[in-house]
Amino acid sequence: MSLALVSKQVSNLEQRLHQAPLLRTIPVVLSDSKAKYLGNIVDWSSHPENKIFWWWKSGADTETQFPWLKENFESKIQELSSRHLTIYIWLGTCGLTEKSAKFIQLRSDNNDRVKHIICDTYKQIYKFLSDYPTIKLVFLELSYYSIYLWNLFQQHPEPEQFRAQD
């Protein structure tokens, strides 16, 4: 393949990329501080029209973010100038663990807390957003994280005591 032909194909591809349609819905992630860290490393300068919006609060658990969502939802969608959103719920980490200084541990030794978050609060979020037919809702799975490794990384004097919580 000649250099001229490759250049022509690259030029054609660039034109098509610039003419690509915008996202049909605006992506919004409702989360705790995980979103802060992820949002800070994503560079949207090349395609600002496809930006992800992050609604987050450090240390927020599912039970505090749901009332916040209900109270602020209308004003937030007005800020975005659209009622066509896909909301990704990425909550649960701070509901399952508690932080003391820079160390974390499980809030509970049984599954009651998990059942409450998933069965009760997630259902309430779903019911609330079902009143908005142009809103799509996606619940993101919590990724596995190690309480032991977190505390080891944070230089806990006795991180071995957290192995059983993993």
The answer on pLDDT for 51 being more than 90 is no
- What is the band of 35 on the pLDDT scale with cuts at 50, 70, 90? confident
pLDDT above 70: percentage of residues in the chain: 80
Question: Cβ contacts of residue 122 below 8 Å, gap of 6+?
Answer: 62, 89, 139
The encoded tokens of residue 85 equal 């959103």
Domain ranges, ordered by start, for the chain? 23-97+105-142
Q: What is the pLDDT of residue 17?
A: 52
CA distance 48 to 26: 12
CATH fit for domain 23-97+105-142, picks 3.40.50.720, 3.40.50.1110, 3.40.1670.10, 3.40.50.300: 3.40.50.1110
pTM of the model: 0.73
Q: C-alpha angle with apex 52: 74 to 147, nearest 5 degrees?
A: 100
Tens of pLDDT along 119-151? 788 899 999 999 999 999 998 877 777 899 999
Mean pLDDT score across all residues of the chain: 81
Confidence at residue 15, expressed as pLDDT on a 0 to 100 scale = 63
Assign 3-class secondary structure to 105-140.
EECCCCCHHHHHHHHHHHHHHHHHHCCCCCEEEEEC
Mean pLDDT comparison of 39-48, 86-95, 113-122, 145-154, highest-scoring range: 145-154
